[in-house]
Structures are given as C-alpha cells and as structure tokens.
Amino acid sequence: MRPVPPSVAVASAGPFALLDRWRTSVIFAAIMCVATLAQVLVTPVSALVDTGMNWTLPLSPGVMITALTVGCMLQSASLALSARHPVLSLTATMVSYVALLFLTDAPTWLAAMQLVIVLALFLVAARASPALALGWAALVTTAIALVWVGWTTTLGENPAHVVAFLIAEITRFALLAFSAAALGIWWHVVVSRAERARRSAEAVEHEHEERVEQARAAERARIAQELHDVAGQHLAGLITLADAALKIAPAHPADALELVEDVRAEGRFAAASLASALQDLRAVDSGPVEVTRDLRRSAELVEFWRARGADVRLVCTATPDDLPAVVSTTAYRVIAESLTNAAKYAPGARVDVEVELSEGALEVSVANAPGPHDAQRHPGLGLGWGLTALGDRAELLGGSLTAMATPDGGWRVRTRLPVAVAEA
C-alpha cells in the first residue's frame, strides 16, 4: 500500500475508519455521553443534595447542570462525525470543552471532557501518517494550553499558583494527547499490514483464477482440435465408403453390402470417438465424467478392433500405473489413431503394438503389415490430421513421433515420450 499523502491522510475512511457506520457512531457517541456526564455532573449534583454547601460560581446550580448536560451531549455527538469528517469532529469536541470552560469557570469538573478530545484525536491519528499524527497531537496540545493561559488571566490569582496549575494541566493533557497519537500510529500500522495482506491475497486469488481460465481455454482448444480431427477423419471415411458402395452396387451388390457393413462399423467408432471428446469438453467446466483413457485401457482398445476382425497383437512391458497421466494418455491416443489408420489403409493385415519403458522414456510402436491385394483401400480419406496433432503433443512433452513405410510395404508409427520431462 502506498503511503497516505498528508493532504488526504485524514480525509479518507476506508479500512482505517473505526466508526464507519452511522448506527455504530451513534451508539458509540451515546455511550461516551453517558460516561462523560456521569463524571462531569457528580459535583454539581452533590451541591444540590447538600443544602449547606457554599455555592460560589456565577451560574446557579440548575443553570450549571443544564449547561454541562448540553455541552457534554454536543461534544459526544461530535464523535459521530469522525467516520467522514475526523478533523471536524476533533474541532467540535475542543470547541465544546472551551465554551464550557469559560462559561462555568470549573476546569476540574470538565476533566472527563478532555478524554473525549483525546479520543477524537486518536480517531484522526489512526488515519494519518506517523508524522502527521504527531503533528496533530502537538497542535491540539498547544491549542488547549493557549486556552488555559487565556482563561487563567481572567482569574486574577497569584501568578505562582497560576503557573503551577498550567504546568500540571498542560503536562497531563500533553501525555494523554501524545499517547492517543501513539495508539493511532500503532493502529494505522496494524491496519496497513492487514490491508496489504488482503490485497496480496486478492492478487494471488486473481492470478489463480486467470491461470485456471487459461488452462480451460487451452484445454478447450485441444478438445476442439481433437473434435476436428475425429470428425474430419471419420466423416471423410464414411463419405468415401458410401461413394464406393454406390459405385459398385449395380455390378457387385455383395461387395457393396460389405462396404455398407464397413460404414456401420466406422460410424459406431466415430460416434464413440466423438462421445469421448465431448465428455472431455464437458469436464472442462465440471467434474470429470469418466476416467481419462490411457494405457490402462489399451487391452480394451485392442479387443475393440479384434471384435471387428482386425488381427491385433499387444505386447506391453510398461506398468501404466507408474506413468505420468499425460504420458499414458498420449501413448493411448497414439495407439488408437494408429489402429484406426491401419484398419483403413490395410484392412485385415496383422498389427503389432509394442509398449516398452526403457532409459527413462516410454516407447510405443504400432506396425502393420501390407494389406491384402484385394482389400478395398481408401487413399483419399484425408487421414493423418490426428497423428499431426499427436506429434505436436509429443514435442511438447519433449519427445517425438514418426510415421513411415516399412520395407515390406507396411506402415509403422513410433513415438518416444520422456517420462522425466513429463513429470517435471
């Protein structure tokens, strides 16, 4: 928090306002009024009870009690202004005291009113810088001292007695005033620290919210890319298979029916892939719908393709439970994408899937043999978008992904994902 400029140090309330609500201020002023009146009126009320007491003051007891009551009420009511106008509140408490001092000529009766002035000074100092708080204490002490000097000159008393009285009263009030200023300075420091801590906590919370939102935006972008890849691949495959079925239907109706079966299988797989991506999209802004697919579900993936006639063999020497989640998930997606491509480009060919953890890295290899010469191939499906996105993800993890033809005419996809980098 920046230091409060002296020009506005006592003009702002904010966290330094002790009486920041009107109801609180009124209740506080009422309590101070009762406490002050109880002390100020004790002597004149005793005089009314004691009929033998010699009353020497210029005002009658009834008028004196009325003046003291009104003066104390006005002074205490001035405290209600401290939340918005602390300097005005301090000035009003001093004016009330000075007016009663000259009106009653009874300074000892008004000692309790000095405490109200000191309290108003504390409320001013609590909003000010240390130097300004001490300055206010010195200014108030000087003003009250000048008032006493002016009042004593009207008494015509022995100068020695007057000097002794002034020294005692000024010293006592000065101690009270500077103690109030010290308390105000301490309060200002404590509240400033609390305010800095609050703002720091708010800044940390805001930064956390921004990071969460950035992470959500990045995850939405990733899922959008995945939806694009899945939709692009499978829809293109469905269209191509449907076109091929239409072309050969007149001459080869049996083959056309087989292609229709392929369309149905492809549609089911596309629906499953899209459903998975959509579940991830919903999980961005809510709780996860299901456990993220990773290498622990690789056997399930292999069985999925075997049920559709693919010859897939899986050899996994790695322990999926010991792998970082992002590495395991990426490896699973590489296997899924590779098996999809193998089913399209080389239907019926044998596919070997190998998963191995060695030298701090996870290595995944998916290799398929050439497809039967009479198998229906679809080179114009526009495949490869998924592997491109997975290659980008592998690079982000510090790894690599390669896809190339094998000497026998098949195809191999290899990826290497450093486990140590992923964990860091």
- Please give the pLDDT value at position 272: 56
Distance CA 259, CA 50 (A): 121
- Has this prediction a pTM greater than 0.85? no
Distance CA 76, CA 153 (A): 29
> Is the CB of residue 59 less than 8 Å from the CB of residue 104?
yes
Distance CA 365, CA 413 (A): 6
What are the E-state strand segments in 183-237? none
pLDDT in single tens digits along all 424 residues of the chain: 344 444 334 434 455 556 667 778 888 888 989 999 888 888 788 777 766 666 677 777 788 888 999 999 999 998 888 878 889 999 999 999 999 988 888 888 888 899 999 999 999 998 888 899 999 999 999 999 999 898 888 777 788 888 888 898 899 999 999 999 999 999 888 888 888 888 888 888 888 777 767 767 777 776 777 666 666 666 666 777 777 878 888 888 887 787 777 777 666 656 656 655 665 565 555 544 445 678 888 898 899 888 878 899 999 988 888 788 778 888 998 998 888 888 888 888 899 999 998 878 899 999 999 876 544 444 433 334 467 778 877 887 788 999 999 898 889 999 999 885 433 3
Backbone angles phi, psi at 330, to 5 degrees: -65, -40
- Please give the pLDDT value at position 109: 85
- Please give the pLDDT value at position 2: 40
Q: Give the pair of three-digit tokens for residue 204.
A: 């940390």
Q: Where are the domains of the chain?
A: 7-206, 292-424
Cβ neighbours for 335, distance < 8 A, ≥ 6 positions apart: 298, 301, 353, 355, 364, 366
> Is the CB of residue 344 less than 8 Å from the CB of residue 237?
yes
Which superfamily does CATH assign the domain made up of 292-424 to? Histidine kinase-like ATPase, C-terminal domain (3.30.565.10)
> What b/e readout covers 317-332, taking b as 16+ CB neighbours within 10 angstroms?
ebebeebbebbbbbbb
The H-assigned helical ranges of 41-153 are 42-49, 61-78, 86-104, 111-125, 130-152
> If we measure between CA atoms, which residue out of 334, 343, 286 comes closest to residue 310?
343
